[in-house]
Amino acid sequence: MLRLTAFALVSATLVVASLTAVGCLAPCSCPSGGGSAIVMLKAAQSSPIASLTTAAPCTAMDGGSGQIVVTTSEPGTCRVRVVLMSGDGYSFDVVFQAISSSCCGNLVGDHTVSVPEPFDAGAGG
């Protein structure tokens, strides 16, 4: 009886070890999406936004009431240029920090936003 119990214990340990090893090799369950920031451009409250530009993988959208929504799928810097109907131009950077993940690579973390700086929109900026 002792021999059978020892065999059962060893067999159960091997099964658990095998299942654990399989779990480690399973694909990662990484979050989808990226990061987003809402930037307030006070001047856009009195003059509507005529155009917004940024480079991929970033996007910038008019959120209304002077808010600009900036999104990205990767860590890095999004430079946003805004031209208002008044002809005034502003640019700012949103820096999305990387969060290192051994399984998923770099994920998008916190962000910082620079102060919007005016530029001459009539001269192409």
Identify whether 118 is preceded by a cis peptide bond (ω within 30 of 0).
no
- Distance, in Å, from the CA atom of 73 to the CA atom of 55, rounded to the nearest integer, reads 12
Q: Point out which residues pair with 78 in neighbouring strands.
A: 94
Pairing of strands 76-84, 59-64: unpaired
**SS3 (DSSP) at 13:** helix
The string of pLDDT tens digits covering residues 76-111 is: 999 999 999 999 999 999 999 988 888 888 888 889
Please, how many CA atoms are within 13 Å of residue 39, restricted to the half-sphere of its CB?
Answer: 31
Which pLDDT belongs to residue 3?
54
pLDDT (tens digit, 9 = 90+) per residue, 29-68? Answer: 877 778 999 999 999 999 999 999 999 999 999 999 999 9
Q: Which comes out higher in pLDDT, residue 73 or 100?
A: 73
